[in-house]
Amino acid sequence: MKEKPLWAHARAVLAQDASGHAMDHITRVVATTSTLLAQTPAADADIAVAAALLHDTYDDKLVADVAEAKAATLTVLTEAGATPAETEAVIAIIDHMSFKASLGGKQALSLEGQLVQDADRLDAIGAIGIARTMMYGGAHGSKLYDPAIRPRTQLDAAGYRSTESTILKHFDEKLLKLADLMNTPAAPPPSRSPAGRDARLPR
């Protein structure tokens, strides 16, 4: 599978993103996926790297028309030389790896999907994760903090982005949970503090 068309497609979709999902994010996720692949010889590198490259190209929070964007992603996979089986494997990863998808229950992921999900989650914690959270909240006009809004404890896919929250509450609702949700031994255990785990965050 040729990577160049996949990079070009990701860049075309995400180059102008200002919510923490631009090409710097994609580049880090691909790099981390490659690091995890080096420790996981049983995984198919072509499938994992393709999924890492394309995982945000039809995300419903980033594109106006998910069906159209997904069709474009399918087309570019074909143009890159992916076999039908490889295309199916890549799409299955993208469709099931998000935190939102997991709110309906743990999603079945291939070994490649587990590596890509770990790589994506590692980019959502630590200093980079904090910066990306601030970018996303700023891009969507979210409040930084409101003492009247409590962290949501019962989340589902339907209400995840449609009910009110704040940027700091997002740490409680998602980011502080990610370190304990890694799939593979290859994923390094991140520090529990950089993502804001200490109790000094306003609650």
Predicted pLDDT of residue 197: 45
SS3 14: helix
For residue 9, give both structure tokens.
């497609």
Predicted pLDDT of residue 4: 98
- Contact (Cβ atoms closer than 8 angstroms) between residue 28 and residue 121: no
**Residues of the chain falling short of pLDDT 70:** 155-163, 189-203
CA angle, corner 13, sides to 132 and 135, nearest 5? Answer: 15
Which candidate, 120, 132, 140, 124, places its Cα nearest to that of 54?
A: 120
Predicted pLDDT of residue 34: 97
Predicted pLDDT of residue 47: 98
200: number of Cβ within 10 Å? 7
Distance CA 116, CA 164 (A): 29
Residues counted in the chain: 203
